[in-house]
Amino acid sequence: MSLPKQKGKVQFTIFVVDDEPMLLDLAEAILRPLGYEVRTFRDPEMALKEFPELHPEVVITDYAMGRMTGMDLIRECRRIKPGQKMVLVSGTVDEHVFSDALVKPNQFITKPYQVQEFTDRIRALVAA
């Protein structure tokens, strides 16, 4: 499946936020060949700083990252852009972490994830 392009540029930007460099590299290696522009961030606060300027189609964020959790990042991104598509990934928590939250991710993916499941969910979310 190829993605639509605009004037020679990739149409969709995806932010991937995780404090583990190896997982950022993995996500980029999976998503970039699919035609997405991938921006990776080890620090969720840096992602949040660039968020209003770059308007990513999807933000994929780990849950546990130190000073700011993935749920904090989801809440702040949605405060800026209420319809922002968000994916929470975690190997330490499950969906119960956001069951009572006012702001929830569009998708939750458990680590370690299967490449096909990961790409299928991101493609579906971008297409929605």
Whether the CB-CB separation of 86 and 105 falls below 8 Å is answered with: yes
pLDDT over 80 (residue 5): no
Whether the CB-CB separation of 50 and 39 falls below 8 Å is answered with: yes
d(CA 60, CA 83): 14
**Whole-structure pTM value:** 0.89
Give the pLDDT confidence of 116-126 residue by residue, as tens digits: 999 999 999 99
| 58-62 and 107-110 strand pairing | unpaired
Enumerate domains of the chain plus CATH numbers. Answer: 7-127 (3.40.50.2300)
Length of the chain as a residue count: 128
Q: Is 21 helix (H, G, I), strand (E, B) or coil?
A: helix
Furthest-apart CA atoms within the chain: distance in Å? 43
Give the pLDDT confidence of 21-61 residue by residue, as tens digits: 999 999 999 999 999 999 999 999 999 999 999 989 999 99
Angle CA 90–42–58, to nearest 5: 65
